[in-house]
């Protein structure tokens, strides 16, 4: 199975399990590599209630060490999922120097002060102009890609989580973002968690995957695990999606350098 790089820890306050349990699940799934990438601290603190605090970074490093101690020959990679926020560039660069990371994931969870994928604020969607929200999201996503700060760009169409989508061909949103990702040399993830959200569809949509593949954008497959039972969840289906879009390989990361790995036959 491909590497699973997008996974969480209880430090984010909405995940569960111990590192030994996650590693046992990764080994049972036959993963090439396992990566840990919990929600990075954000300033000013407390920023929200679903990420670790800056003072908890040592506990995070200890979690990574515990995972590596029981992983045997399976590499355990160290990462973080960092939010793309207005003016965050300096903080991301500072975080990048705090540890010998293997990769950083960039994600868009916020449009202004609205963490739009948080069920707590689901009611805001009823009042939203979905076309305008999608436009703002994809412009933000393209800006994140253009920053060049991240090795992997997380769950590209997370904006669809609660099944709010504008009418018509959504390629009008996808194509400019993919152009920015390709120009920046970014890597996207096929995130299987979407199959278990209200949208009932992995992130991103197959049309986005096909366009990204045609543009030469590399791919990783991730579970976004928040419990040991989530590790490598639906990877078989995700591999078929990737192949149907034209992909023949995924990417492996070490010390922020990448190399290709063939998808299993």
Q: pLDDT tens across 159-177, in order?
A: 999 999 999 999 999 999 9
Tokens of 13: 């306050």
- Whether 6 and 191 have beta carbons less than 8 Å apart is answered as yes
Judged against a pLDDT cut of 90, whether residue 74 lies above it is answered with: yes
State residue 255's pLDDT score.
Answer: 98
pTM above 0.95, yes or no: yes
User: d(Cα 81, Cα 78) in Å, to the nearest integer?
Assistant: 11
What are the structural domains, with CATH classification, of the chain? 10-262 (3.20.20.140)
- 91-104: pLDDT as tens digits: 999 999 999 999 99
User: d(Cα 68, Cα 20) in Å, to the nearest integer?
Assistant: 9
Percentage of residues of the chain with pLDDT beyond 90: 100
User: d(Cα 188, Cα 171) in Å, to the nearest integer?
Assistant: 17
- Rounded to 10 deg, the angle between the 206-214 and 171-184 helix axes is 40
Give CA 90 to chain center in angstroms.
21
- 225-234: pLDDT as tens digits: 999 999 999 9
Judged against a pLDDT cut of 90, whether residue 57 lies above it is answered with: yes
State residue 123's pLDDT score.
Answer: 94
- Mean pLDDT of the 52-57 span: 98
State residue 204's pLDDT score.
Answer: 98
State residue 265's pLDDT score.
Answer: 85
- Whether 181 and 188 have beta carbons less than 8 Å apart is answered as yes
């Amino acid at each position: 199975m491909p590497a699973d790089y997008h996974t969480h820890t209880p430090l984010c306050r909405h995940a569960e399990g111990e590192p030994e349990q996650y590693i046992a699940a990764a080994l049972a799934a036959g993963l090439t590599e396992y990566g840990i990438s919990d929600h990075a601290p954000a300033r000013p603190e407390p920023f929200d209630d679903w990420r670790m605090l800056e003072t908890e970074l040592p506990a995070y490093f200890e979690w990574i060490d515990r995972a590596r101690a029981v992983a045997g020959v399976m590499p355990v990679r160290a990462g973080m999922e960092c939010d793309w926020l207005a003016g965050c560039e300096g903080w991301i660069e500072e975080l990048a120097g705090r540890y010998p990371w293997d990769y950083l994931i960039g994600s868009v969870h916020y449009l202004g002060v609205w963490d739009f994928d948080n069920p707590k604020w689901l009611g805001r969607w009823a009042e939203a102009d979905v076309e305008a929200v999608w436009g703002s999201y994809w412009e933000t996503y393209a800006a994140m890609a253009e920053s060049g700060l991240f090795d992997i760009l997380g769950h590209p169409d997370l904006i669809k989580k609660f099944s709010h989508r504008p009418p018509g061909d959504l390629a009008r949103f996808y194509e400019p973002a993919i152009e920015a990702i390709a120009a920046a040399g970014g890597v996207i993830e096929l995130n299987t968690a979407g199959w278990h959200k209200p949208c009932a569809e992995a992130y991103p949509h197959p049309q986005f995957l096909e366009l990204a593949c045609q543009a030469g954008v590399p791919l990783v497959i991730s579970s976004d695990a928040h419990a040991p039972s989530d590790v490598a969840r639906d990877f078989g289906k995700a591999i078929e999606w990737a192949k149907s879009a034209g992909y023949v390989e995924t990417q492996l990361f070490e010390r922020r350098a990448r190399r290709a790995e063939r998808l299993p036959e």
